A = this chain, B = another copy of it.
Amino acid sequence: MVYKEVKEPIDEGWGHVVSEVVLDETLADGLDGLEAFSHVLVLYWMHRAAEAEPVRMRRRPQGRADMPEVGIFAQRARHRPNPIGVTAVRLLRREKNRLMVQGLDAINGTPVVDVKPYVPQFDSVEAPTTPTWVNQLMERYF
C-alpha cells in the first residue's frame, strides 16, 4: 500500500513527492538487502482507474487536444486493460516492512503488487528515443 499526501491523481509535479510503501508484515524479510540499491521499481495496481469506465484502445494522452491520438499501449495512461503501473523511484530509507521512496506517481491508498531492485541491465536502455509529444507531455510531470 502506498501512503502519501497525494489523494487524487495529478498530471504533474511528482518528482519531489515522498511516499511510504508499506508491505504486509509477513513480507518484511523479503526487503532485506534492498537498502543496498539506490533505486527501486514499484509495481502498483491503479485501483481507481480499474473501477472507471471501459478502456478505449486509442486516446489522446491526458485528454489534451495538443496530443496525438495514440494506442493505449503507446502511452502510460492509467485506463489500460491491466492497470498496473511501474515507476522507477529513489529509495530513501527502509525500515522493516516500510520503504520511503521519492518520485512515485501513485496516489494514497494504491495497492502495491511488487517491489524490485532497479538493475541497470534490465531497466536502463542505451539511447532510448521517443516521439516528440512525450517530451511535451513530461515537461511538468516530474
CA distance A140 to B115 in the complex (A): 24
On whether the beta carbons of A74 and B31 are closer than 8 Å, the reply is yes
On whether the beta carbons of A73 and B116 are closer than 8 Å, the reply is yes
Contact of A74 among B34, B58, B72, B121 (CB under 8 A): B34
Chain B nearest CB: distance from A96 CB in Å?
A: 11
Residues 46-77 of chain A: 1 if any B CB is under 8 Å from the residue's CB, otherwise 0?
Answer: 00000000000110000000001011111110
Q: Given contacts A81-B114, A134-B119, are A86 and B88 in contact (CB under 8 A)?
A: no
On whether the beta carbons of B31 and A73 are closer than 8 Å, the reply is yes
Residues 115-142 of chain A: 1 if any B CB is under 8 Å from the residue's CB, otherwise 0?
Answer: 1111111111101111100100010011
Write the residues of chain A forming the contact surface with B, with a CB cutoff of 8 angstroms: 23, 27-34, 36-39, 41, 43, 57-58, 68, 70-76, 80-82, 84, 86-88, 90, 105, 113-125, 127-131, 134, 138, 141-142
